Amino acid sequence: MNRNETLFDRAKAHIPGGVNSPVRAFGSVGGTPRFVSRAQGAYFWDADDKRYIDYIGSWGPAILGHARKEVIDAVKAAADFGLSFGAPTEGEITIAEEICKLVPSIEQVRLVSSGTEATMSAIRLARGFTGRDAIVKFEGCYHGHSDSLLVKAGSGLLTFGNPSSAGVPADFTRHTLVLEYNNVEQLETTFAEIGDSIACVILEPIAGNMNLIKPSAEFLAALRGLTEKHGALLIYDEVMTGFRVALSCAQGLHGIKPDLTTLGKVVGGGMPLAAFGGRADVMGKIAPLGPVYQAGTLSGNPLAVAAGLATLKLVQEPGFYETLSARTAKLAEGLAAAAREAGVAMCTDSVGGMFGVYFSESVPTGYAAVTASDRERFNRFFHAMLAEGVYLAPSAYEAGFVSIAHSEDDIALTIAAARRALARV
């Protein structure tokens, strides 16, 4: 056995499934997870000291590449002054000011420690602000694992959701309606029927948890118009897209002003920091100002704030997103060209530093199309690329991520590896 296999066996003795987050177990693609021993820039090395070009980047946070010196130094410096105080610090003010400057729809922001906390809190706030219980999400969008969001679509259009996880009482999901992403007509019908009882609609404004799926302009316009008309709040879950697709986030690309936004991943630079924020009148309902309770021992943790501030400073460097987007597009186009040359039905898409690889004839526009793609062929491609030293997301239903540390050479090496891999799948 190699060291990854030995470590996986050892991990399973005391950690359920051997991992601290399910997707890491390679359950969807099979095989043995790679245990990271160290990482630097675009690369990580596994327990057998094999190098991989990393296209997960911690599922989005590592937009600067791993172990970026300025971020590491900021965390080290902060650590010398203490790790956590349970009392306010100036750094929390500074990062709140930076987030509000970069995301104009956010007038007030509360820091938390994970995307799940951010979306759970934003939904509770929307319910508290509107006095309504019903919420709307979309099939294929993931917003973390709070009970009211672990829901699969009900049988009919206006039938509320059923739990998608054991341990979630049906009662906890009976206020959650699950609709189809990009389905404008269904959205219009739903709001016509029950719009005045909907507290909020939450969506990934560019989906990344059913692979990369882009919204149509009509869908975005309908979301904003209908929520406004019926007094429901529009929550943009930008945990993945925030500062990933553009400095102004997905909402800046769309020219849409949501009522609330959730952030995570990039905003914490790889440390446990996430946030929810938006309209001041809505945020004014959150404790200690208002009746909606929310709290956290490690919220606004000084080391996480230091990593986030260092990251937000560096992504504002001139040309950062132009370079990142161009590199990511070059990768996506190169992979698609390699598939055409190999006669393999694989296509790609990208936006900012995110990309999607689909084993289908055309780029999917929603969940049903993604699930119709050739997952088995993706799994073979995943392992062929792993053997080539390229680490893609271990699931056909996840997006990939490029960092500013991925060089033109890394992109060229990846495309060359794909040519060899596609000949074998």
Ligand X SMILES: Cc1ncc(COP(=O)(O)O)c(CN[C@@H](CN)CCC(=O)O)c1O
Closest to ligand X by CB, 150 vs 422, is 150
* Residue 401 contacts ligand X per CB under 6 A: no
- CB under 6 A: which stretch of 141-149, 171-179, 253-261, 326-334 binds ligand X? 141-149
Q: Which residues are within 8 A (CB) of 50 and not within 5 positions of it... i.e. 6 or more apart? A: 34, 389
The nearest distance, CB 297 to ligand X, in angstroms, is 16
- CB under 6 A: which stretch of 2-10, 38-46, 237-245, 368-376 binds ligand X? 237-245
CA distance linking residue 344 with residue 357, whole number of Å: 12
| Cβ neighbourhood burial of 106 (10 Å; 0-12, 13-18, 19+) | buried
- CB under 6 A: which stretch of 95-103, 142-150, 294-302, 361-369 binds ligand X? 142-150
* Residue 139 contacts ligand X per CB under 6 A: no
Closest to ligand X by CB, 99 vs 339, is 99
The nearest distance, CB 33 to ligand X, in angstroms, is 12
User: What is the edge-to-edge ordering of all strands in the sheet holding 51-54?
Assistant: 36-40, 43-46, 51-54, 390-391
* Residue 142 contacts ligand X per CB under 6 A: yes
Among 209, 227, 261, 325, binds ligand X (CB under 6 A): 209
Q: Which residues are within 8 A (CB) of 423 and not within 5 positions of it... i.e. 6 or more apart? A: 342
* Residue 59 contacts ligand X per CB under 6 A: yes
The nearest distance, CB 142 to ligand X, in angstroms, is 5
Q: If you count them, how many residues does the chain have?
A: 425
* Residue 143 contacts ligand X per CB under 6 A: yes
- CB under 6 A: which stretch of 113-121, 303-311, 338-346, 363-371 binds ligand X? 113-121
DSSP 107: S
Closest to ligand X by CB, 212 vs 286, is 212
Q: Which residues are within 8 A (CB) of 225 and not within 5 positions of it... i.e. 6 or more apart? A: none
- Give the CA dihedral 256, 198, 148, 308, nearest 10 degrees: 30
Residue number of the CB closest to ligand X reads 115
* Residue 121 contacts ligand X per CB under 6 A: no
Helix (H) or strand (E) holding 260: strand 260-263
- Within 13 A of 217's CA, how many CA atoms are on the CB side? 3
Binding site for ligand X (CB under 6 A): 21, 23, 59, 114-116, 119, 142-144, 204, 208-209, 237, 239-240, 264, 274, 398
